[in-house]
């Protein structure tokens, strides 16, 4: 199993375990799990870890901070009512300062296959593979920006997208023919490239599902 597949499997397993514990608790089973492992703050820790693994350090820091505050409240170190306005101020300032910090450096990779996960966060990647074979994008309350304009694709390469309450932006070369086979509920998939070469170098398939979100192809 490749590293991206292992990461996806670990994330899925974590959510299955947490969901199962909460479901058993709702049905009245006495789950003998310590509070620090079975609680909403623990969910924030998991979300922080997922974002950290996905390279979203800013989102990970916010989730770890929220988890810390809720744990301190539970153990009567602080009063949540007194500090929650400060939390909103810090989050607001983080957006303002981030906007003023100038252009961000985009991580570049030459991998032939990518697997991006954005949960309550965002990812921005640039791929320059000369033998692009496809990829997977998962967005849940998050977004991904993938730049493939420097890549050369195998004919028939496929990009699979799963998006709920989020968005995906794909920047593709002019000489790729895009074939979309996707399902959208309260959302959509669109190819908004302004120029498309008449003689494509490859056909790339975009497949997937989106709900309350969408995918847009640009150049």
Write out pLDDT tens, residues 104-152.
556 778 888 888 887 777 778 889 889 999 888 888 877 888 999 888 9
Phi and psi based region of residue 165 (left: phi greater than 0; alpha: psi -120 to 50; beta: remaining)? left
| Confidence check: pLDDT of 57 > 80 | no
| Confidence check: pLDDT of 54 > 80 | no
Distance CA 77, CA 114 (A): 43
Helix 57-74 and helix 40-53, axial crossing angle in degrees, nearest 10? 160
Q: Give 50's Cβ-side CA count (13 Å radius).
A: 26
pTM exceeds 0.85 for this model: no
Find all residues with CB under 8 Å of 105, minimum gap 6, and list them.
none
């Amino acid at each position: 199993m490749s590293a991206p597949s292992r990461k996806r499997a670990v994330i899925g397993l974590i959510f299955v375990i947490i969901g199962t514990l909460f479901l058993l608790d709702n049905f009245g089973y006495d789950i003998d799990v310590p509070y620090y492992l079975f609680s909403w703050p623990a969910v924030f820790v998991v979300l922080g870890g997922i974002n950290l693994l996905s390279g979203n350090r800013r989102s990970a820091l916010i989730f770890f901070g929220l988890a810390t505050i809720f744990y301190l409240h539970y153990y009567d170190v602080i009063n949540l009512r007194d500090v929650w306005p400060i939390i909103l101020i810090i989050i607001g300032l983080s957006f303002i300062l981030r906007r003023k910090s100038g252009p961000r450096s985009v991580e570049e990779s030459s991998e032939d296959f990518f697997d991006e996960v954005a949960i309550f966060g965002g990812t921005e990647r640039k791929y320059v593979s000369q033998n692009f074979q496809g990829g997977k994008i998962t967005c849940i309350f998050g977004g991904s920006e993938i730049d493939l304009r420097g890549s050369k694709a195998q004919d028939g390469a496929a990009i699979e997208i799963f998006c709920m309450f989020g968005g995906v932006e794909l920047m593709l070369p002019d000489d790729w023919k895009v074939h979309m086979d996707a399902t959208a509920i309260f959302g959509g998939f669109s190819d908004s490239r302004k120029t498309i070469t008449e003689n494509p170098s490859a056909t790339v398939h975009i497949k997937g599902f989106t709900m309350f979100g969408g995918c847009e192809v640009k150049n």
